[in-house]
Structures are given as C-alpha cells and as structure tokens.
Structure 1
Amino acid sequence: MVIDCWVDNMKLIYDEKTRTTSNSPGVDITVPGFGNTSTVEWLDPSQASPSAYFKSIANALVGFGYERGASLRAAPYDFRKGPHEQQDYFTRMRSLVEETYEKNGMKRVVLLTHSMGGVMSLRFLQLQTQAWKNKYIRALVTLSAPWGGAIKSLKVFAVGDNLGIFVINEGILREEQRSSPSLAWLLPSSMFWKTDEVLVSTADAKNYTVKDFEAFFRDIDYTTGWEMRKDVLSIANDFTYPGVEVHCLHGLGVNTIERLEYAAGKFPDGYPNLIFGDGDGTVNKRSLEGCTKWSQIGKKKNGRIYHQPIPGVSHMDILTDDRVLSYLRSLLSGKRRKIM
C-alpha cells in the first residue's frame, strides 16, 4: 500500500497540448534545499544510511577546506522533468553560480555532477554565453554521465525497475517511472548507436533499433513515451561542446544491459532476457565515453577534456570511491593526476 501511494503521488501527468507535465491532481511537490547541500548529501531527511548520496564527497570537500552553504553549494532539481521543462531551474542555477563566485573572492566555480546531472549541466552550459562561462566557470566535473543515453531506459519503459530493492515488484514502479520525460531524454541516442543495431529483439522477428522508438512505444501500448521523446529529441541530439574544461570520470567493467531479448509470446507483457555488455552497471560504455568526442574541440577552444575511466566501479559506487576523492583533491588544489 505504501508503494502504491508513493507511485500515485510521484507520477507525472502529460499534457499533449502544452507538451509539458504536471503533478497528479491534489499533489504538490517541491524540491527543497536549493543552495545548501543537505538534500543532495542525503535523499531522506532522516539521514538513514541507504539514502546517502553526495555525503562522502561533501565530507571530503569540507576536509579540503570548503564550507557548506558558502563555498560548497548544491543545486537539486526535479529529476522527473525533461530539460525543456527546466527553464526556471536553469535561471536559479545561473544565479547560484554568480552568487557563489561573488561570495568567494571572485573565484570561478567548479560544477560537480553525477549521472543525469552531467547532461543537465551540459544543457545549462549550452544555454550560457561564452563570456559568462569564461568569467564564472572553472571546470565541469562529471561522474557517470550518460552522454548518449542508456539501453536501461528501454528496459524501464518496458518492465520498470526496482532500484535494486529485490522485494519490490518492478511492474509496480513502472507507472511512475515511465511518466518522467527525463527517462525519454535518456533513451539511446542515434549519435552513439547505429541504426542497424538491434536494441530490443523478439522471437516474432520484430526488432527495434534507435530509429524504431515510435513503433516500440506503440507496441508496448505507451504512446505517451513517444510524444515525450519528440519533446526532448532536439536537446538529446545537441552534443555541442560546453565551452569549459571538462573532467569526465566513470566506471567500466561492470555488467550493463546491452540488449533486451524476448522469447516467443513474451513481448510485450512478459519479461525479457537481458543481454549484458560493458559499462558501469547502468550506463553503457560508449555513452560514458561520449565526452571524448570533444577532445579535439577542447584543445582549440576554451578548455581541455580530461577523461578518466575507473575499472570495476559501478554507477553509484563512484560517489564513495577513494580514487575519485583523490582526483577531486588534486583538481581543486590546482594539480592534475591520473588515477592508477
């Protein structure tokens, strides 16, 4: 009953006329803690250990001399919404950067992100002028950024995801998860997957590639998914260089969903056989390495690209890995060292 209530409260309602989403009727959801780090360090205000998020990194940064609420700030956002619905957030983030810069002796800001925060920050930087970025931004640091999306998003649309909690049925959470435009944003990009690569296969010889998402959503009886994908497609396909120095860290060597295979009679309502490849357990290798596409551009423009894979580190464990903390210490102290 608790899970059903949570799903009912958290799911978004899509309006095909406005091409935007809203909370369920009678539900008001806000994102607390903008500017301070409390709600990104812990996802649960009780600070129960399973809800730790940026806690280890924040503690390490304080150890490096940073101060919460002054030189160490946070910009939490509604992760359900697509980037086209985040205009107010981007405005607040710009103001937060400027305020932090001014409060700290005009020192340029380092943006530190995890997962979708990486592509959100990419979009934010794409919307700023180069003069503004030159003045206010020292670097963008991304941990586990899904630059080109992930095959796992297809799995979530099809059957849901239990977030690693084995006692929860994936199908129960699917209703809430698939209502998020951000999930449609993170579908595999045609800039990273070829149009002849099969992402979902069925025993009935009907296969789906990056060019078949409309048919995929129609066949799983969730056409809203295709409408949401159309809303974010131009942004998903905009891989313009952000115009700042980038430090791109991610795990590798962890089994990551590479393809969904349905046995006879199982599509679309049955459970697929999951075929695994390389990645960080959530995002595929080719997507994690997307930042390397900017390497030559960065040399010619406003900052280099530093790419650092970390073998054996998963999508979430990267937030507590000592090698990442050491890298951050070196970067913030003005040094750069390669993780061994």
Structure 2
Amino acid sequence: MTGFRRRLLLFFLLVAPPTLLYAKPTVWEGGNNKHVQVKKQQQQPAPFRSPVVLIPGDGGSQLEAKLNKSSSPHYFCDKTTDDYFDLWLNIELLVPYVLDCWVDNMKLLYHKENNTVTNNMGVDIRVPGFGDTETVEWLDVSHASISSYFTHIAEALVQAGYTRGVDIRGAPYDFRMSPYRRDVDFPMFKQLIEETYYKNNHSRVVLVTHSMGGPYALLFLNSMEQGWKDKFVKSIIALAGPWGGAAKTMRLYISGDNLGIYVVNPLVLRPEQRSFPSSAWMMPYESLFDPNEPLVFTPDRNYTVRDYAAFFQDLEYEQGWMMRRETEGLISDLTPPGVTVHCLHGNKVKTPYQFSYTAKEFPDLQPTTIYGDGDGTVNLNSARGCLRWREQQKQPVFYQTFEGAEHMKILANQTVIEYIKDVVFSPDAGES
C-alpha cells in the first residue's frame, strides 16, 4: 500500500483519534439512589479493587479469517490462505476495490429453513484473544491510533495497579452474529467471570460495556440465575448503551453506511451490513421510540417502528424482517439485569434520528438526515432506557450524562475514566 493511500485512509477512517474530553457531567437523581461521587484525582488506589471484564460493542472485537474459496469478486482477491489473517479491523483492506474482497469475506449467509446465519462459503472466521484485553484495546494489530478502543480505560486501570489478564480481562465476541451466537458466547462469558472471580480472592467482577455490549451483557445477565449474579457480579458500568436500538440502522438497511470513511461508497458496504443479525437487533424499539413518529420518509410511504414488515418488503430484503422477528423479543421489555447498574452516556451531540428520501434517492442514494439529541450514534431516548430499572429492581441504578461526549470518544473521556476508577476501587459490600 502506498504511503499516500494509507494516509488518506487514516484521515477518513471510521473513528477519529480519541482525545481526552473533560466533559462537565450532569446528574439525574431520583428514588432512593445516591449518586456515586466521581473523584477528580485518585491520589492512592484503595487496597481493594474489583476485577474488571471489558465487553465490547458492535465492531469492538478483532476478527481473523482463513480462506478456502472457489470464487471471489475480483482476480486480485485472495481465494485461499495458508493461515488466519487479520480481517477486522485491518486498515489496509478498507480501500476502494480491495474493499470488495473484504466485504465478501465479512458478509454472512442467511438460511431461511432454520433462521440461522453462517460465514460466507469458504470463509472461516474466529475471534482471537478471549480473556485478554489486547483485542478489545486495539482493533487493528498495528496499534494505529484510529483503532484505539478500550485502550484508555485499560491503561488507566493498569496505571492504578491492575494487571492485564489477571484482574482486567476482555470478552470479545463475533459482533456480526450476536445475538444469534449467544449459545456459544454466554457459556464463555460465564466461565470468564467465574475464573476472574476465583483468580482475584473471590472478588466480585465489574462488567464494563460499550454500546451494543450493554444490551448483550443485559441479555447474558437475564439468562443467569439471581444467585449466580449475587455471587459473581458486583455491578455493570454501561457506556453509551443503545437500550432501544439506534435510528441510524434504518439508513444502514436502506442505502448503507460508509462508517465515516468518505472515500467509500456505502452501497459497497450495504450487503455485509444488512447480513448481520446484530443490525436487525439494533433497529429502534417501540418501547423507547414513538410508534406514531416516522423514522423514514419517502414519497410513497413513511415508516415507523411498527412498519418493519412493510419496510423490508419494500426493500425486497425478506431476511432482514426474519432476523428482526427473531431478535426483537430478546430485550424489547428491558428486563432489569438484577445487579447494580451505572448507566453513563453522552448527550447534546447531533445524532441521526430521521431520514428523508426523495423518489430518486430511495433506496440507493443517501437521504437528508434530520438530527436529534444523543451521542452521535445512540439517540437520547434509547440511552435513557436504563432509567426504568430504578423502579423494577432492588439493586441501585446510577445514571449520569456527559455533555458533548461522543459515542466513541466517551471511551477516552477522562471524567468517565475517573468514574470507572471510583467504582472499581470502592469496597464491595457483598452480595446484592
């Protein structure tokens, strides 16, 4: 790859280099819950510290692939490889033309007869580094700054006395297939949490999640007995959780999402984005989005959260509707997790909310976007979904917003990091 092309890609890639944002927090208080005070400085870590498991969101885990394909989109695309190679995030693959090869390797095949998905034919994909933090700290093995993910949080905890692989662990998973792979992922989550608990003098674990990792952790906790949660889990710190989905998935299904890489045509990415069950799972939910308010406007008809069957029919993408039906009931009622919750997210960032298409634009061109409040990805009404748990579980639910903290940059927000340190260094009062 030429130096120019690489620099161009670095400039336009999905995630800008995280910066430490000193956002002024605003606090919502209600019920009998007391707000956890965030210390401006942790001069000396307390003797006690809770072990931490990091659970990433959509796109937050590295993926490796091995190929044995009979065909490919272009003659220059590899059809076979001797070993596994870095697939996500691999910056060098996200350039025009080569991107077609990448899409063909990333996309999933849907099987209508049993409502399952598999990798594309001749593609074997694995998730490296389970239990370690490397593959959730950095999404590209090159450690390019744009691929920084849980890096700042992990490094802050290490500087405060934590040890990677001992009391700070990572739980990566195949984000494309979630929640279809929960029968594989959840036993691994359970084993990792138990192992971390026993490895750290029977200290209960704090789960730190980001984005879709929040709902996925919620689904996991809902699957566990209360006695298990009381014994092994101290709390969950959910950053930027889309508890009711995100409106921008509507645009993804219609005309694709170039992920902020301006040199990439979103239509090239659309086939693989549509093929992910996680995309269907993260569509807006009626429980948190107004069912009478259209999310998509077109000359022929508008679409609300109650119109998904017609939406996919008009897109001629039946499998999208089938995946949505399979996944929407998993968290639609937002059953409380049964553990102490710290729900943190940004606000007052321009966030896609509605999409207006002309007849010419629908479905293959980008629409006019109407924005609302949120963190740039998750709409405010979705991010606030965790508040309902205050009246639904005995364990406390703490809630705090960080003005101007964008969806990805919240992971490097110094005030958020200090909040996390305050929680993990606070003594554990015992079982919830």
TM-score under structure 2 length normalisation = 0.75
Q: Equivalences for 1:1-340 in 2 at 5 Å?
A: 1-204=97-300, 206-298=301-393, 301=394, 303-334=395-426
Aligned residue identity for 1:332: V
**Paired position in structure 2 for 1:338:** none
Equivalent-residue separation in structure 2 for 1:55 and 1:85 (angstroms): 26
Equivalent-residue separation in structure 1 for 2:359 and 2:255 (angstroms): 17
Give yes or no for contact 2:167–2:200 (8 Å, CA) kept in 1: yes
Give yes or no for contact 1:189–1:236 (8 Å, CA) kept in 2: no
Equivalent-residue separation in structure 2 for 1:39 and 1:85 (angstroms): 19
Equivalent-residue separation in structure 2 for 1:66 and 1:201 (angstroms): 50
Equivalent-residue separation in structure 2 for 1:307 and 1:41 (angstroms): 25
Deviation at residue 50 of structure 1 after TM alignment: 1.1
32-41 or 211-220: which moved more?
211-220
Instruction: Report the 3-state secondary structure (helix = DSSP H, G, I; strand = E; otherwise coil) of the residue aligned with 2:388.
Output: helix
Question: Per residue, is there more helix in 1 or in 2?
Answer: 1
Deviation at residue 112 of structure 1 after TM alignment: 0.3
Deviation at residue 88 of structure 1 after TM alignment: 1.1
Give yes or no for contact 1:185–1:236 (8 Å, CA) kept in 2: no
Give yes or no for contact 1:202–1:262 (8 Å, CA) kept in 2: yes
Aligned residue identity for 1:21: V
Give yes or no for contact 2:267–2:364 (8 Å, CA) kept in 1: no
Equivalent-residue separation in structure 2 for 1:267 and 1:153 (angstroms): 15
Equivalent-residue separation in structure 2 for 1:126 and 1:84 (angstroms): 16
Instruction: Report the 3-state secondary structure (helix = DSSP H, G, I; strand = E; otherwise coil) of the residue aligned with 1:314.
Output: coil
Q: Which runs of 5+ in 1 are unaligned?
A: 336-340
Equivalent-residue separation in structure 2 for 1:84 and 1:44 (angstroms): 25
Give yes or no for contact 1:20–1:85 (8 Å, CA) kept in 2: no
Equivalent-residue separation in structure 2 for 1:131 and 1:187 (angstroms): 32
Give yes or no for contact 1:11–1:179 (8 Å, CA) kept in 2: yes
Residue identity over aligned pairs, in percent, reads 49
Aligned residue identity for 1:103: K
Deviations 1:27-75 (A, max 9, x none): 0000000000010000111111111111111000111211100001010
Give yes or no for contact 1:151–1:199 (8 Å, CA) kept in 2: yes
TM-score under structure 1 length normalisation = 0.95
Number of equivalent positions: 332
Deviation at residue 269 of structure 1 after TM alignment: 2.9
Aligned residue identity for 1:223: E
**Paired position in structure 1 for 2:65:** none
Instruction: Report the 3-state secondary structure (helix = DSSP H, G, I; strand = E; otherwise coil) of the residue aligned with 2:123.
Output: coil
Q: Considering Cα pairs closer than 8 Å and 6+ residues apart, tell me whether 1 or 2 has the greater RCO.
A: 2
Equivalent-residue separation in structure 2 for 1:285 and 1:322 (angstroms): 22
Deviations 1:288-308 (A, max 9, x none): 11100111223xx2x100001
Deviations 1:171-202 (A, max 9, x none): 11111111000000000001112221111111
Instruction: Report the 3-state secondary structure (helix = DSSP H, G, I; strand = E; otherwise coil) of the residue aligned with 1:221.
Output: coil
Equivalent-residue separation in structure 1 for 2:101 and 2:180 (angstroms): 28
